């Protein structure tokens, strides 16, 4: 294996290691430089997570009602990622909902306890995701799961490219990823985020459009309220972009 291919494989596996519970060989490591370059593979991790959810749903549907299969697929993806993005969503909404100033919002986000805003946001997002997936035909459902997870993680890369990281002297998991996203990483991430949605034809295009609008509005909110993003904001980006994608697909399918 050439040095270049080994380097890219290491970055890919590092991204998988970072965002899932899947164990990786020790040689993968976790250097800051490689983690920063691994941003290009965030949507690829989404493909893996989405495919696992689709497979769970497909297998469960042979013995269980579709709604139960969808619920199990959601539980499976949450388990696979360790509720990483859901936790970020709750913390981000607690901070933005309960904080009166930038500093107050950032302080609330660091509190591990979940508050009213976070709890409400988490319940609404999970319910919306469940209802959207349950409303889709089976063939659309599986493709949408895979594409939704990839597209939403592309949204997180967009946030990183558009905004600065706002925490100083921070040891959070997002810290190694705060460097500027390169054009190469943005291109690879964008390609991987968009292509899976094209399998859904017009529904996928509308899903991409609604996800892009949601991410754009979220970026504007983060710029206005915080002047940048935190790791929790990236988790929230993934969740918001995913349900926006599903909403677009459902709207196009009616």
Q: Express each pLDDT in 80-130 by its tens digit.
A: 999 999 999 999 999 999 998 999 999 999 988 999 999 999 999 999 999
**Weakest mean pLDDT among 29-33, 40-44, 171-175:** 171-175
What element of type H or E holds 215? helix 201-225
**231/91 Cα distance (integer angstroms):** 10
| Radius of gyration of the chain, Cα coordinates, nearest whole angstrom | 18
Specify the pLDDT at position 254.
79
CB 91 within 8 A of CB 231: no
Give the pLDDT confidence score for residue 243 in this predicted structure: 98
In this prediction, residue 52 has a pLDDT band, given cuts at 50, 70 and 90, of very high
Query: What confidence score (pLDDT) does residue 139 get?
Result: 83
Across the range 133-145, mean pLDDT stands at: 94
User: Which pLDDT value is given to residue 175?
Assistant: 56
Q: CA-to-CA distance for 222 and 226, rounded, in angstroms? A: 5
Highest mean pLDDT of the ranges 21-30, 104-113, 146-155, 171-180: 146-155
Whether the full predicted model's pTM is greater than 0.75, yes or no, is: yes
Q: Measured between alpha carbons, how far is 46 from 29 in angstroms, rounded to an integer?
A: 21
Least confident residue range of 59-63, 66-70, 94-98, 178-182 = 178-182
Q: Cα separation of 138 and 13, whole Å? A: 31
Q: How many CA atoms lie within 13 A of 84 on its CB side?
A: 19
């Amino acid at each position: 294996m050439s040095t270049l291919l080994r380097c890219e494989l290491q970055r890919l596996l590092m991204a998988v290691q970072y965002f899932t519970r899947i164990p990786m060989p020790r040689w993968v490591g976790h250097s800051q430089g490689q983690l920063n370059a691994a941003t290009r593979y965030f949507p690829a991790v989404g493909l893996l997570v989405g495919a696992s959810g689709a497979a769970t749903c497909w297998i469960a549907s042979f013995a269980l009602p579709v709604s139960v299969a969808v619920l199990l697929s959601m539980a499976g993806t949450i388990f696979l990622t360790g509720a990483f993005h859901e936790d970020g969503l709750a913390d981000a909404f607690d901070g933005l909902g309960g904080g009166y100033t930038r500093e107050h919002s950032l302080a609330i986000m660091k509190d591990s306890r979940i508050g009213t805003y976070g709890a409400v946001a988490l319940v609404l997002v999970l319910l919306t995701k469940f209802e959207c997936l349950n409303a889709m035909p089976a063939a659309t459902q599986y493709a949408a799961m895979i594409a939704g997870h990839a597209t939403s993680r592309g949204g997180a890369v967009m946030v990183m490219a558009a905004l600065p990281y706002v925490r100083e002297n921070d040891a959070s998991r997002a810290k190694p990823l705060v460097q500027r996203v390169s054009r190469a990483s943005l291109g690879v991430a964008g390609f991987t985020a968009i292509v899976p949605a094209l399998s859904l034809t017009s529904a996928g295009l509308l899903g991409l459009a609604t996800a892009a609008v949601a991410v754009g509005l979220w970026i504007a909110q983060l710029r206005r309220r915080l002047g940048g993003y935190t790791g929790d904001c990236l988790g929230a980006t993934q969740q918001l972009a995913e349900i926006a994608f599903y909403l677009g697909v459902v709207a196009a399918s009616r």
